[in-house]
Structure 1
Amino acid sequence: MKTQHHHQNQKKLGRRKDEKVDKLVVDQLPTDLEVEILARLPAKSLMKVQCVSKMWSSIIRSQRFVDSFYALSSTRSRFTVTFCNADAERLFIYSSSFEEEERSLVAKLQMTIPSVDLIYGFKSPSVHGFLGCCSGDQFIVCNPTTRQVISLPIKTARASLGYDPVGRQFKALNLVSPPDLFPAFLVHEAITFEGGGGRVSRKQVTSAPYYPVTDGLYINGSIYYAAWARSQKRDPVVVCFDVRSDNISFIKAPWEVVACDSDSILIDYRGKLASIIVDAYSPFQIFGLWILEDALKHEWSNQTFELPFPLLNMTSPGTNKAGDIIFAPTYLPPVATFFFLYYYNVENQLIRSVRLHGVADDEDFQRRYGLLDYCYVNISPEHVESIASL
């Protein structure tokens, strides 16, 4: 018995000695070499090795390293698939890498967020590595890479996430005033994430009255959404919120971009604001593409395209790096089935399908969470992994 205890003690001492040696080796590495080693690790590994040493933790959390990691991640194509089920009251977030010539992809579950109740047609766009969505009187912001989740109280469920690339700050714009009454002016709340445990500051921002038609879309430092500047559909505009200056301006828009009797979908088209116009009430085979060419001059271009076959219950979450327009299902059925994305190239007018495995075809997953009804789904193309925290 004593011999057994002696061997166990020796093993413990050996492990402690190895740990001390490993820590000593880490501490003696040149800082430049440490940064080089860490830069080659995937995001999940970086989250784990922060506990190896204080130096590594300091490097990984530094703004310079966070920016460098994001810049490297931006070169790799990835998208998120987010869906919510009313019965489960849970938000599911998947992610998948994407290669241009792939015909099938596998999405992996990144995280789930409980006690989330989202309405039909919810959006969870990716903004600088973070996802944001409204759930009742709460605005939820999460980082699927670090699994950080922040829930903020809001007065109305009209909040959109944005990012100031100069000041390196995240902000959310929330419309507080009821727009259907058309008062003399509208009141918004600009919520700035101060960093460190989800601390925020709030600022009141006012604008001329308008009635919003679409959800907010972030592109290059601004949040856009289509709206009517006056009642009775007389003045179609795009509202533009400059995240850095907190300034709200209006861009004159074509009637088709805002009209409620067509399904106007704002997308990021190669860094420009654009709108996909489809028929909201039947399978569509023809769609229009309006692109904002010059915001200062309010100039738009317009093209019409015809697909080789009609699409049913589809929407467009945006484009990939090549500029292909993506079409995706608006919901997941309650039974296991195939899930296809369609990529349409506007230049050669060719379309290709990509099957996504791991989401709609997982029967065990559906039974485990009791997903017995339709789940509304949102896809955020060109998601970039980030190790930043709020």
Structure 2
Amino acid sequence: MKTRRRNLSGDRLTTTTRRNTRSKTSENGRGNSLPFPIDLIMEIFSRLPVKSIAICRCVSKTWASVLRRQDFTELFLSRSRTLPKLLLAYQKDGDLFFYSAPQPQNPDENSSSVVATYHMKFSFEADFLGDAFEISGLDQGLLLPLPRVKTRRVKSMSLFGYDPIDKQVKVLSMSGSYGSSIPVAEEYQIMTLGTGKLSQRMIDCGRILRYYPHFEGICINGVLYYLSVDISTASYLLVCFDVRSEKFSFIEVEKFLFDGTMVNYNGKLGFLLSGESDYVDESSTSVNLWVLEDTHKQEWSERTFVLPALWEEDIVESAMLGFVGMTGTNEIVMRPLSLPGRPFYLIYFNIERNTVVRVAIQGMNGSEYDHVHIFLDHVENVKLL
């Protein structure tokens, strides 16, 4: 009986052949493996979708070990960033349905539609989809229904951010009650995800703020930004929470920014408005972008982008549009605020080419559902699988 064996060398996995019976072994003699260097194996696996990666992790301990390596996680994420997607979640009654669609890159008049692919459904109790429920996205490819906060306060709200140095995702939760006509944040808690144990710890904000952040926050380069009001001074604030150090800092802002939509503009915080309004309609002539140029010096710049001449006639018609955000290729994305009997679509305004394109989202009809969440530049991430 002849046996041919390849010895394990470095990060290489081995194959043993005995006559017509093929047996695959690994370093510990168990599970399946391939006779290729691990870097080549990771390259192959990195081309699979997230769902397939999750299945492959269950094949054997060897595969699970390879697919949980930090360098594989980073490889998968970097590849996903080259093909960003639209992520859509619509809410109907007690269910959330998740879809993804190719994100148009510099769309033109030929990019008239994309097809959404259904992924999964989350079901919740009806009352959970009220004020206590939120969905948040993150620039590291994560999207989570935020956990309930352990508190005796009446109201709570959570946001999460990413620390790119320690590569940690943290949830910042604020809780308050209705002790007065203006609710105040009385507790701040922080929780680190992906550590195997969800433990909450209290932190100090240092100022007396409203119990909720105004609208949604955004995390850029390790800083979580959101708007709030200082109760003691009645000043409008941009709250800056450093995710790594867990320290707060504050920038006073004009009230009109509270009507803006926070965006990541080339690695800086920006606010999108139309004049001082949070929507665009057929009478709008331009879009304004306020950019925080220097956090420490608290310096801002304003850019005004004039809408094309055919804006009213061919694009908007009678719809009222809200801002979704900006893509990594500097396109302002807008969505109709109501869709009475019409297919779901997005408007892409390229600020460099001064072009506007309407892109229909096929495969789901947003007009039938209570609320649609839209996330731009979404990338798949295996970090928390």
Identify the TM-score tier after normalising by the shorter chain. Answer: 0.7 to 0.9
| Residue of structure 2 in register with 1:58 after alignment | 65
- Report how far residue 244 of structure 1 moved: 0.7
| Residue of structure 2 in register with 1:240 after alignment | 240
1:379 aligns with 2:384: no
| Residue of structure 2 in register with 1:304 after alignment | 304
Q: Deviation string for 1:312-362 (max 9, x for gaps)?
A: 3432221112111111234665x5x3111111122332211111111117x
| Residue of structure 2 in register with 1:251 after alignment | 251
Moved over 6 A (4+): 179-185
Q: How many residues align?
A: 339
1:190 aligns with 2:190: yes
| Residue of structure 2 in register with 1:225 after alignment | 226
| Residue of structure 1 in register with 2:357 after alignment | 352
SS at match of 2:323: strand
- Report how far residue 382 of structure 1 moved: 0.8
TM-score of the pair, normalised by structure 2: 0.77
Moved more, 293-302 or 28-37: 28-37
1:30 aligns with 2:30: no
Q: Which amino acid aligns with 2:364?
A: V
Label 1:245 to 1:20 Cα distance change in 2 as closer, same or farther (>3 A). Answer: farther
- Aligned-pair Cα RMSD in Å: 3.2
Q: Which amino acid aligns with 1:220?
A: N
| Residue of structure 2 in register with 1:274 after alignment | 270
Preserved contact between residue 279 and residue 323 of structure 2 (Cα < 8 Å): no
Preserved contact between residue 287 and residue 306 of structure 2 (Cα < 8 Å): yes
| Residue of structure 2 in register with 1:364 after alignment | none
Preserved contact between residue 214 and residue 266 of structure 1 (Cα < 8 Å): no
1:323 aligns with 2:330: yes
TM-score of the pair, normalised by structure 1: 0.76
Give the counterpart of 1:78 among 74, 85, 88: 85
| Residue of structure 2 in register with 1:118 after alignment | 129
Paired with 1:58 and 1:103, the residues of 2 have a C-alpha distance of 43
Q: Bigger relative contact order, structure 1 or 2, given CA contacts below 8 A and separation 6+?
A: 1
Paired with 1:111 and 1:294, the residues of 2 have a C-alpha distance of 41
- Report how far residue 306 of structure 1 moved: 4.2
Preserved contact between residue 272 and residue 290 of structure 2 (Cα < 8 Å): yes
Moved more, 99-108 or 117-126: 117-126
Structure 2 gaps, min length 5: 1-17, 27-31
Preserved contact between residue 278 and residue 323 of structure 2 (Cα < 8 Å): no
Q: Deviation string for 1:274-304 (max 9, x for gaps)?
A: 1112435883624322111111111111133
| Residue of structure 2 in register with 1:128 after alignment | 140
- Report how far residue 225 of structure 1 moved: 1.0
- Report how far residue 67 of structure 1 moved: 1.7
1:159 aligns with 2:158: yes
Spell out the pairing of 1:355-374 with structure 2 (5 A cutoff).
Answer: 355-360=360-365, 374=369
Preserved contact between residue 169 and residue 193 of structure 2 (Cα < 8 Å): yes
Label 1:119 to 1:348 Cα distance change in 2 as closer, same or farther (>3 A). Answer: farther
- Report how far residue 22 of structure 1 moved: 6.1
By percentage of residues, which structure has more helix? 1
- Aligned identity (percent) is 30
Label 1:163 to 1:332 Cα distance change in 2 as closer, same or farther (>3 A). Answer: farther
SS at match of 1:71: helix
